[in-house]
Each structure stands twice: as structure tokens, then as C-alpha cells.
Amino acid sequence: MPLCNPHDSPSSTRMASINLATKTTRFSNQHTPCTRTHQIAALALIAATFFLTRLFDHSLAPCSPRITSPSAVNQHNDVVSWPLYQPNLKIYVYEEDEIDGLKLLLYGREGKITADACVKGQWGTQVKIHRLLLQSTFRTRKKEAADLFFVPSYVKCVRMMGGLNDKEINQTYVKVLSQMPYFRLSGGRNHIFVFPSGAGAHLFKSWATYINRSIILTPEGDRTDKRDTSAFNTWKDIIIPGNIDDGMTTRNPRLVDPLPVSKRKHLANYLGRAQGKTGRLQLIDLAKQYPDKLESPELKFSGPDKLGKADYFQHLRNAKFCLAPRGESSWTLRFYESFFVECVPVVLSDHVELPFQDIVDYAQISIKWPSSRIGTQLLDYLESIPDKSIEEMIARGRKVRCLFVYAPETERCSTFRGIIWELQKRVRLFHQSAETFWLHNGSVVNRDLVEFSKWTPPLPLP
């Protein structure tokens, strides 16, 4: 059947338009008059082409995105907006023997510091993230296939245990980076570093020169309140939770179980050292004035009277509100611990940054109070909150706390899953640096016009 002129009927898809245009050219000299039968046939052809095209595209497309949530039933709630995509990225993890100097950042100058020793305490994230990536399905062993590169380091632990001093840390990082062609290829944009303490990337004194474009995983956000330059960039870096004791994050049994709200002895508590910090000193004084409302015992962290893990959480669970003031830096592990004893965290740290803020509404599960208003006004406000409201906040917090657990990839909700979601958003198809150049055939060269495949370490660094 001859086709009508395409101006006589609409085109719904690109493929239909191409077909019609081709056939119109073929029959353009026939000047076949358009009848109603012609128009109906053309519309039927367009409709069939549209549905066949959609079917064909769907068959070639990757698996459709699915909501990754802790519950197949509760995929969305009033606290968490779970991502609507399934991450699809490949991460290369540098081997400890692959680069001269990397073992120093992992085990110290004498190699006596172990990963098992470093995984303990609030900075254990540096080990846990490394271990999780080594076992992850997102790991690739081919650099050329990688979207991102992970640089393992237990440098906070190594420094705390005397394995390296600040000067040695700085020199070792520079040495390691000079042996990474892929780091130089992107200017570090696709390389991931973990700095698990309040110092953040400042543990590497020359971070601003060498890794200012890299992705930094850290519990610490803006540090301009204490330092001239912040090592945290909202658009590329990722805030991670601190490392909570495994005895509280495992499902059964836990070190301690939460108490019913009605049976808690105190309105609020603060468990921590003063460290000479104004906010903490104010809370300690406030507890002395109102011991029936606020508990702030003098804690011993060493010696025969040292508070054990279980005893610490026994204290923490005995209040409706857990107060979390800043210490040396803005972040505090107490914020995350409170969710596992099911007391409502009250943040008293104005500059704090919290993890996964694109999916978690923290106003539904916690309180942030100005640190300049620590006093009786704070206690009066907390006392005015009905138990029913407290229990509702605690219930919402239960839905979120899985995001603060460094669990294996098999868990559908975990810190690791949250980090992978965040990393997916930082993947770039194209990378460049001030020291890379490209030619008409797509090959990448350095300023001496040497192709990337022929680069040999050590590479000159800025």
C-alpha cells in the first residue's frame, strides 16, 4: 500500500520518523492521494513501531533500578527516602604489596601494628571499609575497568600506636602517590581515602597539595572553626558514621538491651570526658545542679576503675535523651551509639555534619540544640516533650540505625551500602588533570607526549 505524505499524519517515535521519511522519499513522485484508509494504516504502523521499539530497548537495558531497603514492605517511610537505583560501579582496591610504602601506612615502620588491633574503637572504620571492599561484588581486579580506586590506610591507628610520626606519614603518602599512574591520570579525582578521626585529611599534612580533588571518607565535616582550611568538600567527600562497638550493632545478643522509656532513671545524660571544652564543662556543672534530671558521672577510661563496655551502655540506656556535645572536633560517636540504646540523641555541636543526609531526615529522629544555650533552658525543653513523642522518635530511629552498621554487603541496609550509593554519584565518565592531555584518536599523553600505557613510576607530583 502506498504511504501518504508524512505531513498528513503525526510521528510518535524517532524510528517511525526515519521509516516514514525513507519511504516518503521512495514514493515522493507518485503523489498518491491520502484516504482515510491510508491514514489509519499509517497510525497503526507508528503505534506498532513505538511498542516494538520500547520492547527492544527494554530487552537491552540493564536490570531496572530497585529500591534497596531493609524491608521489602517498607520501602519508603517518613524518615528515609531510599535510593531508587541499584549501584553499578567497579572499584579497584590497591594491594598492600603493590606499591612501595603502602605497608607503612597500614602497619607502621616495623610492621608490628595489626589490622585486628586497628579495627577496635571509634576509628575502626578505616579497617572495616577496607575489608568490606575486598569482599565486595563491586571490586574489580582490573585497573583499566575501574570507575574508582581505593587506597587502603590505617594511618590514624598507626599514628596513635607510634608506628609513624607526622613527618613520616606525610613523606610516605607522597611516595605512595608518586607510584600511581591512575591517580595522576585523573588528578586523584577517582581515588578514595579514609580518614576516620576528627582530624580528617589533616592527618596527611600536605593533603591540600596532593589529594584536594580526591574522594575523602571521614566522620568530620567543616573544620574552619579550628583550622584555616577545611579538608571537607560537600560535593565530593562523604561523611561516614563512626565505628560503634560490634557488641551493640549485632542483632542477637547485644551487650545491653534498651529499657522502656517509662523505666529510665534520668531525663538526659552525658557520658564523656570534659577535655577542657566549654560545652562539656557546662553539662558536667549542670548535672551537679540537677542530678535527678541529668546524669554525667566522672568516667575513668584507664586504670582499675575504667568503665567497661557493658557498663558504659548500661549508663547510656538509662536516659530518655543522650546529649552529644562536640569534643576536639564537631563529630561525636555518642550520636550514633544512642540509636542502639534507643535514647533520642541531642546534638550540641553547631558545625556537625551527618552521613547520608540525602536520604535521612534527621529532624525526625534527633534534636539539634544551640551549643550557646546549654543550661536550664535545655533541660526545661527536654522535660516538656511527652513520652509519646519520645517513643515515636525512637521508633523512627530504629528504621534508620542500620545505616550506622558496618555490615557485610549481603545486608540490604548498612553503612557500606550507604557509602556505595554515595560513591555511585561521584563516578565520572571522563577525567582530566593538569598533567594529562589527549589527542584526536582519544589517546591520553603527558606533557612530553608519552602515551599513558608507557608511563613509568615514580611520576613527578605537583
Residue 422 domain-assigned? Answer: no
Q: What is the predicted pLDDT for the residue at 77?
A: 59
Which has the higher per-residue pLDDT, 226 or 260?
Answer: 260
Residue 281 domain-assigned? Answer: yes
Of the residues 60, 82, 102, the one at which a domain ends: 60
In this structure, the answer to whether residues 42 and 99 fall within a common structural domain is no
Q: What percent of the chain has pLDDT over 90?
A: 65
In this structure, the answer to whether residues 286 and 384 fall within a common structural domain is yes
In this structure, the answer to whether residues 287 and 252 fall within a common structural domain is yes
Own/partner pairs, 201-207, CB within 8 angstroms, 24+ separation: 201/231, 201/232, 202/227, 202/231, 203/155, 203/156, 203/159, 203/169, 204/155, 204/169, 204/170, 204/173, 205/166, 205/169, 205/170, 206/170, 206/173, 206/174, 207/231
Residue 83 domain-assigned? Answer: no
Q: Is the pLDDT of residue 8 over 60?
A: no
In this structure, the answer to whether residues 238 and 107 fall within a common structural domain is yes
Q: What is the predicted pLDDT for the residue at 4?
A: 45
In this structure, the answer to whether residues 266 and 151 fall within a common structural domain is no
The 10s digit of each residue's pLDDT in 383-438 is 999 999 999 999 999 999 999 999 999 998 999 999 999 999 999 988 888 889 99
In this structure, the answer to whether residues 226 and 255 fall within a common structural domain is no
Q: Is the dihedral of CA 193, 207, 327, 397 positive or negative?
A: negative
Beta-carbon contacts of residue 357 (< 8 Å; ≥ 6 apart): 239
Please state the pTM of the whole predicted model.
0.81
Residue 185 domain-assigned? Answer: yes
Other beta carbons less than 10 A from residue 448's beta carbon: 7
Q: What is the predicted pLDDT for the residue at 337?
A: 96
Q: DSSP assignment, residue 261?
A: G
Which helix (DSSP H) or strand (DSSP E) does residue 265 occupy? Answer: none
The 10s digit of each residue's pLDDT in 214-223 is 999 999 887 7
Q: Domain span at residue 35? A: 6-60
Q: How many domains is the chain built from?
A: 3
